[in-house]
Amino acid sequence: MHRGKLILLQLLVGVLTISVWEIGTSVPIGGSYLLPPFFFSTPVDVALRIIKWFVEGTVWRHLWITLYEAMMAFIIGSAAGVIIGFWFARQPVVAAVFDPYVKMINALPRVVLAPIFALWFGLGAASKIALGITLVFFIVFFNVYQGVREVSPTILANARMLGMNDRALMRHVYWPSALSWMFSSLHTSVGFAVVGAVVGEYLGSAAGLGYLIQQAEGVFDVAGVFAGMLVLAAFVLVIDGLVTMAERRLLVWRPAAETHSL
């Protein structure tokens, strides 16, 4: 589809949604509102709230804290995932021994860990980072493990015929293959890093977007809740755009159909 047309349609969906919201909250139908403002606020109120946050500058600190927590969770979780994924893939015995435990921990809904992390690491950024790590780690770990295990046998045989020793195989075959699998899950792992931070903040903290939303909910400030969600959504869109840009650079060697866009 033509790019201009696409953007136009995307805008149209947004305008329509906001119109329905505005009409539902401000035009009484048969004596009652379709979307009572007490539960749904109104687009104008929410917009004013967002503008106020940015004009007063209070929101920046929360954005920065959430970004910081997500980034740390992503970096530490990815590094651990790459190292352990590589290790397990190259040491089948280790992988077999730990297999049931990995599955057990991965099956655990990570939200239940949040209070424990708060207990261990306090209410500051550390407990949110820890929560994010538990989410990011497994995505990266499984992808790297897969990437190392699933190198085509023909490519491996070719590498050996071309004179590669174990170290060269690592560097020229296993490593790029593992990284490509990791990068192809970049959207998911970055997304989960943000989820970890926000959920952690929501369940107990003094700063961050999750905290902002939780505070507003505590006093039935629906405009505040919606404003918080919209800022969070915009934040995620921006990060996702950055990931797409990084992906284009890192996966140039992949056929275009395999790299997702958005």
Q: Which residues bind other proteins (CB under 8 A)?
A: 152, 154-155, 157-165, 168, 172-173, 176-177, 180, 252-255
**In the complex, minimum distance from the CB of residue 164 to other proteins, in angstroms, rounded to a whole number:** 5
Whether the Cβ atoms of residue 66 and residue 194 lie closer than 8 Å to each other: yes
Nearer to other proteins, 61 or 172 (CB): 172
Nearer to other proteins, 149 or 199 (CB): 149
Nearer to other proteins, 92 or 176 (CB): 176
Main-chain phi, psi angles of 204, to 5 degrees: 160, 100
**In the complex, minimum distance from the CB of residue 56 to other proteins, in angstroms, rounded to a whole number:** 49
**In the complex, minimum distance from the CB of residue 156 to other proteins, in angstroms, rounded to a whole number:** 9
Task: Please give the structure tokens belonging to residue 259.
Answer: 């790299």
The DSSP string of 141-195 is: HHHHHHHHHT--HHHHHHHHHTT--HHHHIIIIIHHHHHHHHHHTHHHHHHHHHH
Whether the Cβ atoms of residue 127 and residue 114 lie closer than 8 Å to each other: yes
Nearer to other proteins, 154 or 261 (CB): 154
Match 């035009």 to its residue by tokens: 27
**In the complex, minimum distance from the CB of residue 154 to other proteins, in angstroms, rounded to a whole number:** 4
Side-chain-side CA neighbours of 178 within 13 Å: the count stands at 27
**In the complex, minimum distance from the CB of residue 165 to other proteins, in angstroms, rounded to a whole number:** 8
Nearer to other proteins, 122 or 176 (CB): 176
- Rounded to whole angstroms, the Cα distance separating 81 from 192 reads 14
